[in-house]
């Protein structure tokens, strides 16, 4: 009798552990997510040599179908506050967290998108102060995202010198 109880306990523990294993999913699903985060590190070059394209990396928290954390790296042409939209060339993302009682990790890629011309607001006294630049972006790939990118910087020498950035938005991921 003790042996039968031990086997049942082992099976129950095994099933519970399998439910906690990271998975990408047993069947295709769609997650609706809200994200917020910060730019980590400095943008680095991407795209053809000499193109001026840059790779920006962000990470933060996700809530929605998957509650957890996310990170993304996006390659894009130069951002502008003078009427020229930037193009998202590519990139990739990862979202990890709990979808119900299951822990999932979803990987995806960006195939394209756009970043609208930014709106810059300067808060300067005698030519020195702070500034913000606000951009709207739309990304397509293994999902679709829309977000607001905000640059924060120091204003001097008649221009905004970006020091940090935040990203907040929503989207859907197929996994």
Contact 60, 36 (CB under 8 A): yes
Cβ neighbours around 52 below 10 Å, total: 9
Within 13 Å and on the Cβ side, how many CA atoms surround 35?
32
Query: Residue 3 has what pLDDT?
Result: 58
Contact 68, 62 (CB under 8 A): yes
Percent residues over pLDDT 90 in the chain: 75
Q: What is the pLDDT of residues 107-155, one digit of tens each?
A: 999 999 999 999 999 999 999 999 999 999 999 998 899 999 999 999 9
Q: Whole-model pTM? A: 0.82
Residue 12 pLDDT grade (very low, low, confident, very high; cuts 50, 70, 90): low
Taking residues 67-74, report their average pLDDT: 97
Question: Using alpha carbons only, what angle is made at residue 34 by residues 29 and 35, rounded to the nearest 5 degrees?
Answer: 115
Residue 50 has pLDDT above 60, yes or no: yes
Residue 52 pLDDT grade (very low, low, confident, very high; cuts 50, 70, 90): confident
Residue 101 pLDDT grade (very low, low, confident, very high; cuts 50, 70, 90): very high
Q: What is the pLDDT of residues 15-41, one digit of tens each?
A: 454 444 444 444 578 999 999 999 998
């Amino acid at each position: 009798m003790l042996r039968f109880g031990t086997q049942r306990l082992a099976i129950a523990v095994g099933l519970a552990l399998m439910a906690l294993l990271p998975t990408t999913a047993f069947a295709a699903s769609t997650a609706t997510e809200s994200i917020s985060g910060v730019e980590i590190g400095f943008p680095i070059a991407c795209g053809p040599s000499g193109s001026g394209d840059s790779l920006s990396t962000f990470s933060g928290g996700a809530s929605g179908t998957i509650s957890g954390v996310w990170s993304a790296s996006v390659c894009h042409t130069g951002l502008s506050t003078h009427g020229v939209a930037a193009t998202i060339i590519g990139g990739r993302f990862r979202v990890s967290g709990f979808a119900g009682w299951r822990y999932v990790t979803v990987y995806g890629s960006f195939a394209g998108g756009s970043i609208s011309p930014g709106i810059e607001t300067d808060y300067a006294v005698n030519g020195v102060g702070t500034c913000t630049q606000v951009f709207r972006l739309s990304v397509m790939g293994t999902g679709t995202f829309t977000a607001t990118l905000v640059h924060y910087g120091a204003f001097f020498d008649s221009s905004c010198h970006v020091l940090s950035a935040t990203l907040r938005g929503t989207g859907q991921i197929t996994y």
